[in-house]
Amino acid sequence: MSAIRYDFRSDTVTKPSPAMRAAMATAEVGDDVFGDDPTVQRLEAKAAEMLGKEAALYLPSGTQSNLVALMTHCGRGDEYIVGQMAHCYRWEAGGAAVLGSIQPQPLANQPDGTLRLEDIAEAVKPDDSHFACTRLLALENTIGGKVLSLAYMREATALARQHGLACHLDGARAFNASFALGVPIAEIAAPFDTISVCLSKGLGAPVGSTLVGSAALIAKARRIRKMVGGGLRQVGVIAAAGLYALEHNVARLAEDHANAKRLASGLAEFVDLSLPEPETNILFVDVAPQIAGDFAAHLAENGVAAISMYGGRRQRWVTHLDVDAAAVEAALRVVRAFFEGRTAKKAARQPEAVS
């Protein structure tokens, strides 16, 4: 296997740019647990303003941000309704259950990432001592690269409210959703009580997430962040990267979406690769089983990294700040070289002769 030259595994792999590093090196700092770090305060104010909420909290990771949000809304023995494929249920090591004693009520995600409204309504438990108290609906946008519409988010949260539930959005990539929907991120945040937004994905900061919501909820979340070990001291050094990301790297997400479209159209030329049109910066590609292992090995040998699942039969490709349009073309050349002389392109495939 050769060294990775074009890294499409995730938008988490970005490295801080020289300008971002300069902002980090010159950041004003103080002890943030004492509330003394001016850079963190600027970051939190900026995040709250962009998301249209009263307050924000800076946290070391998206996982901790979701955990803190779930523990802010739910107490021991309470329950949250969540998608089977949601990060805060499936990919966070069961933290809400382990650390918060919060029971998940997972529901099937539909192919478009939504939860059926009927399923949500049915999952809310009656007030009966047999059941956990259902307190929260947690959605995710974007989810698996797909965008939940504003109409859906409004309907699902309105339904949750009818049942007395609070609403949390894992908006790790909510800025991607905002660009894809063509609306300010505050419109996405509006129907939710809390929203968690990652700074270390498409926005390109090395570390950090923010949780935003009302002043009262964020004050509660601050205490829980301390409890789980997320109170950090002169953290302005890394918060400066997050602030830089919010100030400079939001509008450029458009490039990632355009690069994902170009990548998808290049990959879709080959009969052995099937994929839907990407909605954001993430594409999932189904690879014909007969080539799966060889194709994954060819990419790796040629310095192209994508996430390979099910023995290479499914791949995840993600565009981001550190793979520009030229990197996309270079990766497509590597893909083309694999298929050269091996399989016809889709357009060139001849109909079977009828005898």
Ligand X SMILES: Cc1ncc(COP(=O)(O)O)c(C=O)c1O
Nearest to 152 by CA among 182, 192, 117, 107: 117
Nearer to ligand X, 176 or 302 (CB): 176
DSSP structure string for 109-158: PPTTS---HHHHHHHSPPS-TTSPEEEEEEEESSBTTB---HHHHHHHHH
Q: Does 200 bind ligand X (CB under 6 A)?
A: yes
Contact set for ligand X, span 96-155 (CB under 6 A)? 140
Q: Does 245 bind ligand X (CB under 6 A)?
A: no
Taking the C-alpha atoms of residue 106 and residue 83, their distance in angstroms, rounded to an integer, is: 5
Which residue sits closest to ligand X, CB atoms considered? 62
- List, in order, residues 6 or more apart from 277 with CB less than 8 Å away: 261, 264
Residue 24 CB, nearest approach to ligand X (Å)? 18
Q: Does 14 bind ligand X (CB under 6 A)?
A: no
Q: Does 61 bind ligand X (CB under 6 A)?
A: yes
* DSSP H helices in 190-284: 215-227, 236-248, 253-267
Among residues 53, 73, 87, 135, the one that binds ligand X under rule CB under 6 A: 87
Choices 15-23, 56-64, 109-117, 177-185; region in contact with ligand X by CB under 6 A: 56-64
Taking the C-alpha atoms of residue 192 and residue 207, their distance in angstroms, rounded to an integer, is: 24
Contact set for ligand X, span 148-177 (CB under 6 A)? 170, 172
Structure tokens at 298: 């060819």
Taking the C-alpha atoms of residue 67 and residue 226, their distance in angstroms, rounded to an integer, is: 12
Residue 35 CB, nearest approach to ligand X (Å)? 24
Nearer to ligand X, 66 or 178 (CB): 66
Taking the C-alpha atoms of residue 206 and residue 197, their distance in angstroms, rounded to an integer, is: 14
CB 38 within 8 A of CB 28: yes
Choices 55-63, 68-76, 184-192, 241-249; region in contact with ligand X by CB under 6 A: 55-63
Choices 20-28, 60-68, 216-224, 341-349; region in contact with ligand X by CB under 6 A: 60-68
Residues near ligand X, by CB under 6 A: 12, 61-63, 66, 87, 140, 170, 172, 198, 200, 209
